Each structure stands twice: as C-alpha cells, then as structure tokens.
Structure 1
Amino acid sequence: MIANKMNGHTNVCVYVVPLTVLITMCLWTVHKAESRAINKTTEMLEAEIKKSKLLAKWQLQKEVDMKLDVEKLKPPDHLGGVKMEQDGHFNKDYQKEVFLGNHQNGVEQEVESKLQDIFMNADENKDDFLSPDEVERWIGQKIQEHLDEALSENNRIFKLLDPDHDGFITWNEYFKQFLVVHGHDSDRAEKHLADYDTIELEQSDKDELMRYKFRWSDADKAPVDNRLSANEFLAFRHPEHSAFMLNSMASDIMRAIDKDKSGNLTVFEFIALPDAEVLEPKDREMDRHWQMEREREFHAVIDANKDGIVSLEELKDYVNPRHPNHAKVEAINLIKMVDNDGDNRLSLAEVMENKELLLGSKMVDTGRSFHDEF
C-alpha cells in the first residue's frame, strides 16, 4: 500500500501481492531458517565426529602402547624352523623344533604324553612304526606350522602399528613406537621425531635402531617410500618369508665368514673360531665340539654338490626353510639318532628311550631356528 497527497486529498493505492508470491516468500523464509539450523547441526556433528576420531586415535595408541613391548616390536633374533641363525651359527634347537613343534615346553610327564601323541599322529598307516617318509612329512608339517605362526603374529603386530588402517606403516610410526616401548613418553617421542634432540638414546639403542633401519630399507620394495605394507613388514620381521630377505641373510653370513673374499666358503673358514683367547679346558673342549659339529654339517648337508666348497647358492638353499631337501635330511638324521635296532624306522619305545636326545639336542626344535641377529 502506498499513500500520497494530491489536490489536498490523500490518495491510497493498494497493490495486491499474488498468493503464489506470498507462498514463495514464506517458503524461502522457512528454508533459510532450516538451513541455518541444519548448518549448525552439521557443525556440531562434525565437531563430535572429530572429537570421536581423536578419542578413538588416542584409545588405539593406548592399546598399542599397552600390547606392544620391546620383544614384540623388534624383529625376532631367532627364526623358528630355520637351520642357521642370522649370525651364521647353527640353530641348536632346530631338530627339536621340527619334531616337537609347539609341544616342546612343559613338565616331563606332559612332554612324554605329547611325544606319544606326536608318534600316534605321525604314524599315518597305524603300523606302530614311523618310516622315513612319515617322519619327513611330519617334519614338513612342523616347519609349516612355524611359518604360519610367524605370519599370524606379524599380522597382529601390523594392525597394532597401523591404527588408521591405511595398510602401511611409516618409518616414523615405527620409530615412535620404538621410543615408547623403551620407556619414553608418547608426546616426547612425537617431539623427538621433529627435532631428533628431545630424547638422548643409549648407544646400544642407537646401534639397534640403525640395524633395524638397514633391514627396513631392504624390505622397502618398489615403490621405495620409507613405509612398509603388510607383506614388506613380514619380510622385515621374518626374512624366512621373503626370498629376497633370505638371499640378503645368506649374503650377510657369507661376508662375515668368507675371510679370503673368494665368494665361496671353505671348511676351514666355516669352522674357524672367533678371535678370542680360550684359557679354560672346558671351553677348549666346547670349541672342539662346536668345530666338529660345523664340519659335519658342512660336508653332509650344506655342500650339496660335494665339491669341497660352499657357494652362495648352496648357502641360500641351506637357510631357506621351504627347501624340500631339509625335511628329508632331518628325517634321516633323526632316525639315525633314535633308531636303536637299526631297522631304519622308529618305534614308540625308541622315541621314549631317547626322549632326552629329542628334548635336548639341536635336532629337535624348529621354532627358534629362523631368527638370530644380523
């Protein structure tokens, strides 16, 4: 409505707004109010989601801190089911591992019961004897069990170290957790990643971390991005699962023992004692036994083509737990050790009579033989 004066009279003009316009204006006003309400609600929801994510991340980090310790975080020194340790020493428990598997611990009565169970399970044709083939297949199963166990443990640790579930662990994430499990506060560990000056590490921790970094770099395959996928992390912790890492392990052993740098190992290099003076007679006797054991293994197993030297390829085969020759050779060795009557098969009585050999010799333990320090 508009009012104006003309010739002393007031004229009033009334404009009629169409109903559709009024409805549109009302709807627009309502829509605007709803939009403001929705925006406010959205902002509140986003704030709550952000808060929830931060809380979840904090809870996951606390879970990681609680469940991981030094031993679980670092690559295992011992590799179960591998004949040679990563420092070039024999796995003294190898044969116990490949025969008893996960039944190697417990009191004597329990172990005897487990030995009987193992015998009954390995005796496939139920003739009350273990043939060389049956022992070979049993050993193959135990080796695979150790490989499967390592894979399962690695997957669990990977999930703990990958709280955002992006499928990768960066070196900084691993480094931070290394600091945390060594007793440093999580916030200080985070700050140390930025300035490398917040935490003063012990020299032993620095040396350990340096070894892990080299090993991390070996496992970090194309694309080389300083982060590891689940498979790469498995290779980092368990080289027995990676052909490349097994080759690297064999090469490291070769470099450490090959004194003349010929690229092959002679028996003299393989049985050479470390440079240290041994004074006690009992220590000298232990050294002689160590050398005799290595010499026997050199000629009987590692030197596959019997040419008197061990090549890098032969060494790679020896440290590879999946090599088909291992189960066969260990079955032969085990039967020779336990077969009292010389009939080339094992009875339950022979197994029980030689339980001390099975429980205590280097021939009976597979799990601890995959890992030793580089």
Structure 2
Amino acid sequence: MNFSSLFNLTLVLVSIVLASSLLARVKHEQPAPLHEMSSEEKLTTFRKIFDRMDSDNNHLVDTGELKSWIDLIHNRTAETAIKFRFSFLDENKDEQISWKEFRSLTFSMNSDDLEPKNYTQEQFRDLEKAFRADRLRFQVADLDQDDSLSVNEFRAFAIPELFPHMHFHMVQETILDLDWDSDGNLSVDEYLSAILQSNDEFPNDVTSREYDFFFSSRDKNGDGKMDKNEVKEWIAPSHFDPHEAEAEYLIREADSDKDSQLSFDEIMKDLNVFLNSGATNFGREIHEEL
C-alpha cells in the first residue's frame, strides 16, 4: 500500500471522528448514532443542520449554499486528516517531514536502495513503483528543495489536485500507473481500466458509454489516445469544481418543485439522496456530518 492509499484511509477514519465532533457542537452534546435516534431527534438535528446551510435565512438552500456546506465538511475533514498524518510522520517534532522520516515510516526503509530479495517479483515491482512515485511527488511538493516538507508543502503532497504546481506531476503519475504499453499516452483500453477499476470484462452498458465518451470528449485532438494535456484535463480539469458538481447533483435529485433550490421538506423527503450520494465521495461526508 503506498502513501496515497494510506492517506485516503486516514481521511476516512478521521472524518468519522470529526463528524461526531461537529454534530456535538450543533447539539451541544455527544450525538447518538443516526440509527439510534428517534424520529423527533432526527428531525431536530436535520433542522439545525439545514439552518446552518441556509446562510441567507430564506428557508431554502440553493447551489451556492449547498456548495459552501460541502466545502466546509470536506475541507475541515481533509485538514484534520492532514494534520494528523503530518504529526505522525514528523517523528522528531521539528515541524518538518524529512524524506528520511517519510521513507522510514511509510516504507520501513532506511535508504533509497530497494532490496528485491525479500519480495516476490510482483511484490517488488509494486513496491518499486509506489516508492518511486512517492519520492518524485515528495520532490515536486518540496518547493524550497530542502528534502523536507512543511505543513503547507505536505498539503500539496497529500491533495495534489488542489495545487496547480502539482498537476503536471499528477499527469506523470497517472500515465505511469495506467500506461501498459509505455508509449507515454493512454489508449481507450487503458482509460477504461481506470474508470471501471478492473482489467476483467466490463459491464456492456458502462463500457459502451465510457468508450464513446473517450472519443467524444477525452480525446480532444482525435488521434485515438490521450496525451499529457488531455490526461491533465481528465484528472484536474481547468473549469470544474467537484463540490459545485456535487451540490448541483443533490439539488437536481431532490428538487421536486424544480425551482433550483431545496426546502427542508424536500431534503427530508429524499434524505437518502444526501446520505447515499454516489456522484462523488462528498455524499459520504455529509452522511457522517449528519
């Protein structure tokens, strides 16, 4: 497991702790789990949270207000996870994570020399790939080139999609991970393997839709493959805000009167849309906040 996987796991675990803390501040007491709440308790809790979303107090939540709420939950959760992980990796507590500390605590290695004798061929290949990827990402995030990461530099390492200077490296990482034939580009098959998270046979309807989308939207120059610029627009698009997209999705799903806003009753009527949102990962974070 490389550091990116470890960080994502940490983010999920810390979000659960953070959500309980946030809800406690709303209710001024330790909250009961959702499934243990009475109908009256749920109604009271959801009403307080709705009122926090409704920043202009007009008893409706629009896309901007919902996006701001998702920003709050996601960013606070991510920041807590980053600080938690930073504290763990900063072994000598000097407010810096040296490459030596990172390498030791993430890979249990005392040098950059990989020893294949303790691994199978496949294990060694995966370890080498993860190690080299994290080493390069560390170097790109290390803006002052002192072979250590400050808290701000570590944010860029942990969430590179939010930092433009990390985007080109993200492209390199993606191509390295998915480019089976090592031609420096992504074919439609390589793209599909990433979208569907499998190299086995794909469901026909999903495969067909994503196959068409590859040629209609991803492959912008029509050469049958995704080059570095096209991969950049896929993983870190210039004009796309995932929080706004989540807010638009939730409103579209629950807006029964089609006024592009949500009332408290509309949210309660389609509460599962919020608790089980599959559009992005932020639905899970809203669920934990509730």
The interval holding the TM-score normalised by the smaller chain is 0.5 to 0.7
- Give the match for residue 26 of structure 2: none
Counterparts of 1:227 and 1:333, CA distance in 2? 40
Change (3 A) 1:208 1:317: same
User: Could you tell me which of 270, 277, 287 is aligned with 1:354?
Assistant: 270
Do 1:123 and 1:130's aligned partners in 2 also have CA atoms closer than 8 Å? yes
- Give the match for residue 102 of structure 2: 174
Change (3 A) 1:252 1:179: closer
User: Could you tell me which of 134, 138, 156 is aligned with 1:219?
Assistant: 138
Which residues of 2 match residues 1-374 of structure 1 at below 5 A? 74-76=3-5, 79=8, 102=19, 106-108=33-35, 112=42, 115-159=46-90, 161-163=91-93, 165=94, 167-171=96-100, 173-178=101-106, 201-203=118-120, 204=123, 207-208=126-127, 211-220=130-139, 221=142, 226-254=147-175, 256=178, 263=185, 270-271=191-192, 274-276=198-200, 278=201, 287-288=203-204, 290-291=206-207, 294=210, 312-313=228-229, 315-316=231-232, 319-320=235-236, 325-363=241-279, 365-366=281-282
For structure 2, list consecutive stretches of 5 or more residues without a partner in the other structure.
24-31, 286-290
Between Structure 1 and Structure 2, how many residues are aligned? Answer: 255
For structure 1, list consecutive stretches of 5 or more residues without a partner in the other structure.
1-70, 83-92, 181-188, 279-283, 370-374
Q: Percent identity?
A: 18
Counterparts of 2:215 and 2:35, CA distance in 1? 35
The SS at the match of 1:363 is coil
TM-score by length of structure 2 reads: 0.61
- CA-CA distance at 1:122 after TM superposition: 1.0
TM-score by length of structure 1 reads: 0.50
Change (3 A) 1:227 1:368: farther
Counterparts of 1:355 and 1:341, CA distance in 2? 16
- CA-CA distance at 1:156 after TM superposition: 1.9
User: Aligned-residue CA RMSD in angstroms?
Assistant: 5.1
- CA-CA distance at 1:211 after TM superposition: 0.9
- CA-CA distance at 1:299 after TM superposition: 9.9
- CA-CA distance at 1:177 after TM superposition: 3.3
- CA-CA distance at 1:367 after TM superposition: 8.9
Higher RCO structure (Cα 8 Å, ≥6 apart) = 1
Do 1:299 and 1:306's aligned partners in 2 also have CA atoms closer than 8 Å? no
Per-residue CA deviations over 1:249-269 (Å, capped at 9, x if unaligned) read 234335626989685776x76
The SS at the match of 2:250 is helix
Counterparts of 2:212 and 2:7, CA distance in 1? 23
